[in-house]
Each structure stands twice: as structure tokens, then as C-alpha cells.
A and B are shown apart, each in its own frame.
Chain A
Amino acid sequence: MSASTETRVPEAAKRTTSGWSQSLHDWVTTVDHKRLGILYIGAGFFFLVIGGVEAILMRAQLAVPANTFLGPQEFNRLFTMHGTTMVFLVGMPIVTGFGNYLIPLMIGARDMAFPRLNAWGFWMFLLGGIVLYMSYFASMGLYGAGTAPDVGWFAYAPLAGKAFSRGNATDYWILGILISGFGSVSGAINMLTTTLTMRCPGMTMNRLPLFVWMMLVVSFLMLLALPVLTGAQVMLLFDRFMGAHFFDTQAGGDAVLWQHFFWFFGHPEVYILMIPGFAYASEIIPVFSRKVIFGYSFMVAATLAIGLVAVGVWAHHMFTVGMGKGLSVWFAVMTMIVGIPTGIKLFNWIATLYGGKILMRTPMLFCLGFLGQFLVAGLSGILLSGAPLNWQLSDSYFVVAHFHYVLIGGLVFTIFGACYYWFPKMTGRLLSERLGRWHFWLFFVGFHLTFTTMHVQGVLGMPRRIYTYPVERGWEVWNAISSSGAILQALGVAVFLFALAQAFRRPQWAGPDPWNAWTLEWSTSSPPPAYNFLTIPEVRSRRPLWDLKHPDDPDWEHE
């Protein structure tokens, strides 16, 4: 696999370095899209464990009323770091990592368009993550205030300005996210360019795997949204360090401008995280239903429609600031419109299942969980898009339940499914099906215990971001259930990590095509060689491997 890296190492250097340090050197200096993809995903899971520990600390605090396990200040820091970590240091790298690994393999290319830019993007992301967590050690600023930032993952200015957020913790938040944003933008440029210019002969846009189509839209949204956040963060830095007045209400600055900028980034960001979930499901569900995806062109069109509508819905996060009737109606209606293309997708997946020979393997289990949970997430989202109900439910646990249904019930479930599905391609080893089932059921039950109950807490009026609550409000039982679910989810992730270790200790070899699948990545060995394909493949349909396996009845006769 490391044939190309080895040729570059001089013979003398080879003799003096041990295998371990040579391997480390190869991984640190790699520009191979597959290794960078694995690095992205690995780093994402590392931060997932950190963000998960933060979540469990918060659930421990909220398990019983009037708890004194954490103080208000620590709690604020924890939910800030939890949200920031999960969005920027878990979701983004895992999404980019799978894109990096799979896009060249799926379109029959030997690497990304800009391999060195690719490596630069990964290390910028990692630097951003390290800078954010440096705040725990290094942010005892001039005023001696703060360890981690406590401004929320949205860092609303002017509250994040110098007057209200003293010390340097908030600056670590700004700089960490800003730096990792450079990495994401370079990754988006790379994925777009690769998809548009590096496709193998015959791989027309009309034959692109849905995964690649969806990552194309995701990359476009990244390019559109992330520079907006970067610009707003630069303004905040100017305010904090150079005495500028962008968000300074004393000098006539606007208190809502940051919210507009942040959510103009923030809502497309939700789709940047969620569309890759659709992408994994769109590859996994057909293979385990033994059927072609239902409505390929409608899936593409729906993805483009979601990408388009994504830029016109941001202020539904801001109904409670009082935007006036016209804007509220606009954003409510636009938000409801998102339900149409998303509904098309959901029905297409169900129609793919319909009449299929369904194989209940672990990747499929996670995707089926995703279908049901994402439906609930979408429905609670449409509830919240109604401005009057939103005024009632905003900043309550109902909203927490809604977006965790999207990001865990939707994204994390499909990420786990994708891990079980593509891990054999990445390492040549299958993950244990038995452990996979334990993982799924523990995580599934834990997820529903934690987040289904949160809908109830929200309707009962429990606000978000409170560090504790009094006894007599009727929230105790629900919170206890929520917290117990967190333990099951943690156990599920532990089983997953154990399954990963098991796959290396007692390998179960996968072979090039363990799932009898149809896209090009399964036509090469597992793990693929550094150059991916010995000869660049030529495709004639959307399922090139089906054509290869069934020369008597190839797809291109029907498309």
C-alpha cells in the first residue's frame, strides 16, 4: 500500500529508522487521499469521545434536581465545548474524511485533484481543534477569567464581545474555529474540483454515485457558508482586539447582526452535516435491499433543491428576536418548503426497500434507524418552523430534542452505518456482526431514552442551558431517564471501539467486495493500493460492478 511513499525514502534513511517511526513518518507526511481520509475520520472519533464525555458530565449534573456536581460556570463551558466540538471537530472531519476517502475511488480517480492541499486542510483542521482545547490550559488571560469558552457554540455578540466575555477563552474559540474553517474550505475546493474534473471515462454526471452527487452539493455549501462565519469571526476579533464597533451596541452597532451572519452560516452548516448522512444511506440501503436506488434523478434534484433552499432559511433560528411579520412569514414558509425535497428522499429510500431482498446487516440496521428517526426530526422541525409555536418552544428542551434527532438520529447513525459498511474497504477486515448488533441496540435504545424524553421536558417548559432545576417542576423523572440513556449510548460507542480493536486482533478478512456491491470502490483490493486502480476503469452505467458481474443483463441496456 505504501509503495509510492517508500520510493521517495532514500535507502540510507530506511536502514536507520525503525518500522514504527517510519510508519509514523509516512502517516504524518502522507498526501494520499485514503490515508488523509482515515486520519480525518480517526481524529473525528477522537473528538467524538471528548465531546461525549462532556455530554455525559452534563447529563450527570442534570440527572437529579438541585444537583451540585457542576457549577453554572462549568456547565456553560461544557455545553459550549460540547456543541463546538461536535459540529466542528466531529461532524465536519468525519464528513470530509469519508468524502476524501470515497470520492476518488467512486469516480475512478487515483487521488484528489490537489493532494498536498488536501494534507494541508487536514492539518489545519487538527490545529484548529488543538487551539480550541488549548483554552483549557492557556486562556488564563489578563483578567484571570475563564478556562474554556462559555459563550455557546454560536457565540452571540455582543455577549461574546470584550465587554461581556473577558479573558481570552472566547479568542481561543474564535481562532480555533477560524483555523479549522480554512481546512474545511480547502477540502471543499478539493472535493468540488475532483468531482468535476477527475472522473474516469464514461462517468458522466448522470452516472455519478449518489454519494458523490451529495458530497458535491455539500462542498458547494461549505464554500458558500464557511467564509461567512470566517468573516463574522474576523469582525469579532477586530472588535475584541482593535476596538472596532461591528457588534458594539454602545457605538450604534447592532445586537442582531451577528445572529444573522452566524445563522447564515449555521443553517447551511446543518445541511453540510446532514446531506452526507443522506449520502451514506443512499449507498447502503440499495446494496442491502439488492435493488437499484429508487428515483436516482429525483434524489439528485432533491439534494440540489435542499442546497438551494438552505441559504434562505437561516432566520428561523431567530424568530424570538422579533423580526416582524414579513420576515417571520418568509422564513417560516421557506423552512416548511425544505420538507418537500427531504420528503422526496425519504419516500425514495422507502421505495428502494419496498419489494427488496432486505439483508439485516449492521450497516442496514443503522440506516433503518436513521429513516425512522430522521422522519421524527423532520416533523419536529416543521413544528418548530411555525413562528408562533416556535415562540413557545424556542430555547426549550424541545429544540434540543429536535436537533439531536437530526444530528445523532440522522447523522451519527448513518456515520456508524458507513463505518461498518466501508471499514472492510479501508482495512481489509470486517467488523464483527455480533458486536455490531450490540452496538446498534445499545445506541438505539440509549438514544431514544435520552432524546425522545427531551420532547416532553421541552413541552413541560424546561429551558435549555440551565445547569440545574428545582424539585417541584415535574421534570425529575424525564431527566433521570434522559441521563440513563446517555450511559447506554456511551456503552454502545465502547462496544464499537472494542469491535475496532477486535478487527485488528482477530482479523476476519473481507476481500475486495464483501457486500456484493455495485460502485467502483469495490472493484479494487481492500485496502486499495496507493494508486487505487491498476488501469483506470471505464463505466457504462450507474452500477459498473453490476455490469461486470452480470454481462448477460447489464444496466446500461436499461438506463
Chain B
Amino acid sequence: MTQPLPLPFAPPLAPPLAPPRAPAVAPVGWNRGRVGMACLIFGESTFFSVFVVAYLFYIGKSGSGPQPSDVLEFPLVATLCLLSSSATAGLAVKALAQGNAARAGVALALTVGLGAGFLGATANEWFGLIYGHGLTIGTNLFGTTFYSLVGFHAAHVALGLLMLSLVLGGVLAGKLGPEHSERVEMVTWYWHFVDAVWIVVLTTVYVVGV
């Protein structure tokens, strides 16, 4: 049987009357929201890397058609939509922080519209590939890697769009003010990340791959 080692000092704590409140989160700098979102983005990046690696690895290895150069066209409209939506998202956060809810609403509506435009362009492309060229995920290695990579990116765009729409709803309902701009900024960080992934996907699929 052991005895606890003797304490060289008195236990410092007595139970308090009420639990103290947690300290407020620092509003600027690398607070926990920013670090958390940065970590999520890092984890998501490694997830996308696997699909990019698989795409690059399987370029030119499809035994049967259609091949990328036969069916892919450079998605100029979609790219312009998504890249400019990052700028409008940034404007929305700035306007919200300055308390200009009307301008934030317009910028967010533009962002959502441009994001929807990107998804529409993707849908149009996929419709043509599936019904025009008969390319599905099971057709060949190109179809397998193409739909997985582009599809996972589009799914992330859809998720970002959902979050941005919620923010837009909040702004239109007058529920979001300058005190929420920090959190809205975190949503736009995700949106910028999705945008950055698109640049990688674009390079991989439509530049290197064709």
C-alpha cells in the first residue's frame, strides 16, 4: 500500500460559489476561429491532393475513349464566375464590418449568384459529357478521375454556397451586424479556399490533362 507523497504546499483551490465565465475570444489576430478554419483548410487540402495525384497519375492511361482532349473545353465562364465571387465575398465582409448592411447584402447576393453560375456551368458541362459523349464515372479512367475530382470540388462549392446563402439571409433579415463580420469572414475563408482548389483543378484537368 502506498501513501501519497506529502504535499509541500497547501491545495490552492476551494470550490467557488459560481463557475467563472470563460474569457472572451480575442477579436483580432490568430484567434481560435481563424486557427480552426486554417486547420480545416489544411486537412481539406490533403484530401484534395489525393484526388489530384490520382488524376495526374492516370493521365493518358485510359484504354478506351473518350479522351480528355476530345471532350473537354476550357471552362472560361465558370472560372470567371468563381474567381470574381471571391472578390465580392471579400467586399461583403468589408461592408459588414463597416456596418453597411445594404452594400454587404448586394455583395453577398452577387457572390451567391456567381457561385450558382459556376455550378450551373458545371452542370451544363456534365450534361454534355454524359449525354453528348457518353462519359460517366464507369466509362474509363478519365471518367473515374475526372468526375471524382471535379465532383468533390463542386460539392465543396455547393456547401460554401449553402453557408453564404445563410449569411445572405441573415443580412437581409437585418440580424447580422459589424459584430458578426469576423465569423462571416471565416465563411469567406472557406470560399476563398474552394476558389484556390479550383485553380489547382483547372490546371490539372484543363491545362496539364488535355
Contacts and interface: CB of A to CB of B under 8 A. Distances in A.
A523 B7 CA distance: 11
B4 interface: yes
A222 to B, nearest CB: 8
29 contacts: A113-B35, A114-B32, A188-B39, A189-B43, A192-B39, A193-B32, A196-B35, A223-B46, A224-B42, A226-B43, A238-B144, A244-B137, A244-B138, A245-B144, A251-B140, A251-B141, A252-B140, A254-B57, A254-B58, A257-B54, A430-B2, A433-B1, A433-B2, A511-B4, A511-B11, A516-B5, A531-B19, A531-B22, A548-B9
Most central of B19, B23, B42, B50 by chain A CB within 10 Å: B50
A549 B42 CA distance: 42
Given A242-B138, A434-B1, A232 B50 contact: yes
Given A257-B54, A531-B19, A227 B43 contact: yes
Contacts of B30: 196-197
Q: How large is the interface on A (under 10, 10 to 19, 20 to 34, 35 or more residues)?
A: 35 or more
B43 A514 contact: no
Given A232-B50, A251-B140, A252-B62, A549 B8 contact: yes
Interface string B22-38: 11000000111001100
B49 A228 contact: yes
Nearest to B23: A536
Most central of A113, A430, A536 by chain B CB within 10 Å: A113
A4 interface: yes
Contacts of A508: 1-2
Contacts of B62: 252
A230 B2 contact: no
A253 interface: yes
Contact of B7 (A185, A193, A242, A513): A513
A534 interface: yes
Interface string A515-533: 1100000011100011101
B17 to A, nearest CB: 10
Contacts of B42: 223-224
A503 to B, nearest CB: 12
B47 interface: yes
Interface in A177-233: 185, 188-190, 192-194, 196-198, 223-228, 230-232
A510 B4 contact: yes
A534 B115 CA distance: 48
A361 B43 contact: no
Contacts of B31: 197
A193 B13 contact: no
A197 B1 contact: no
B7 A432 contact: no
Contact of B11 (A227, A238, A512): A512
A530 B9 CA distance: 23
A423 interface: no
Contacts of B12: 512, 523-524, 548
Contact of A245 (B4, B43, B50, B141): B141
Interface residues of B, number: 48
Nearest to A516: B5
A231 B47 contact: yes
Contacts of B13: 512, 523-525, 529, 533-534
B61 interface: yes
B65 to A, nearest CB: 13
Interface in A1-42: 3-4, 7
A185 B20 CA distance: 30
Given A511-B7, A549-B8, 8 more contacts: A198-B32, A224-B43, A228-B46, A238-B148, A508-B1, A508-B2, A515-B5, A524-B12
Contacts of B8: 516, 549
A345 interface: no
A330 B130 CA distance: 43
B90 to A, nearest CB: 24
Contact of A189 (B16, B40, B61): B40
A510 B16 CA distance: 21
B63 A252 contact: yes
A243 interface: yes
A246 B54 contact: yes
B140 A113 contact: no
B35 A193 contact: yes
A210 to B, nearest CB: 21
Which 8 pairs across A and B sit closest by C-beta, in order of nearness? A243-B138, A231-B50, A227-B47, A433-B2, A113-B32, A244-B144, A514-B4, A189-B39
A126 to B, nearest CB: 21
B9 A549 contact: yes
A430 B3 CA distance: 9
B32 A197 contact: yes
B36 A193 contact: yes
A433 B4 CA distance: 11
A223 B148 CA distance: 21
A433 to B, nearest CB: 4
A153 interface: no
Contacts of B54: 235, 246, 257
A224 B63 CA distance: 33
Interface in B62-103: 62-63
Nearest to B17: A3
Contacts of B179: none
Most central of B6, B22, B31, B39 by chain A CB within 10 Å: B39
Interface in A109-137: 110-111, 113-114
Contacts of A515: 5
Interface in B107-162: 137-138, 140-141, 143-145, 148
Nearest to B16: A534
A361 B43 CA distance: 41
B32 A238 contact: no
B61 A252 contact: yes
A60 B20 CA distance: 56
Contact of B36 (A7, A189, A251): A189
A530 B13 CA distance: 13
Contacts of A530: 19
A188 B39 CA distance: 9
A5 B49 CA distance: 42
A245 B9 contact: no
Nearest to A222: B43
A254 B145 CA distance: 13
A92 B6 CA distance: 35
A166 to B, nearest CB: 19
B34 to A, nearest CB: 8
A261 interface: yes
Nearest to B22: A110
Contacts of A430: 2, 4
A91 to B, nearest CB: 20
